[in-house]
Amino acid sequence: MDSEKDVSRRAVLCGLAVLTLGLIPEKAIAASGVKVLANGKVEITLSKNPALKKVGGVVQFSNSQGLKIALVRVGKGANEYRALNLSCTHEGTNVVRSGSKWVCPNHRAEFATGGEVKVGPAKANLVTIPIKSSTSKVIVG
Ligand code: FES
């Protein structure tokens, strides 16, 4: 019961922090073209995720452990993608998309689209997750 109260209070405080900071998370990414495989990795079908056609495009999803992940197009080349663990490298709060950056609603650290830390208190870039890509799919994990 106490843990339910804690989670609820945490959720409310996080929501208030987002509102206070004026951060409005981007529209949730549809699950279309995002599939969790039996081995726990996540397969992204590029043709079903047009956001990834342009550099700076982002698709967000969760893996089988509930980890929030963003796949980002970081270059024009066919395999220039980066998967980011969206847990802030300061204290682990999930960052949210705000314009062309990621912002932590907890202590306001900011990261570039590609995960590079821009404003503290976080000192490290968002953690990358290994990927394998082809012309049609990206496997994350
Ligand atoms: S947890 Fe993200 S800035 Fe502190």
Instruction: Name the maximum alpha-carbon separation found in the chain.
Output: 51
Alpha helices of the chain — where are they, by DSSP H? Answer: 2-21
Q: What is the pLDDT of residues 66-76, one digit of tens each?
A: 899 999 999 98
Cβ-Cβ contacts under 8 Å for 33 (sequence gap 6 or more): 44, 45, 46, 47, 48, 49
pLDDT over 50 (residue 3): no
Average pLDDT over residues 91-103: 96
pLDDT in tens, 14-26: 444 444 444 444 3
What residues have CB less than 8 Å from 83, skipping those under 6 apart?
69, 70, 71, 72, 128, 129, 130, 131, 138, 140, 141
Q: What is the CATH number of domain 26-140?
A: 2.102.10.10
- Mean pLDDT (the chain) is 83
103 lines ligand 1 (CB under 6 A): no
Atom of ligand 1 nearest to the CA of 93: 1
Ligand 1 pocket member 104 (CB < 6 A) = yes
Quote the DSSP letter at residue 51. Answer: G
For 24, phi then psi, to 5°, come to -120, 110
pTM of the full structure? 0.77
For the chain, which residues make up each domain, given as ranges?
26-140
Confidence at residue 16, expressed as pLDDT on a 0 to 100 scale? 43
CA 73 to centroid of ligand 1, rounded, Å: 24
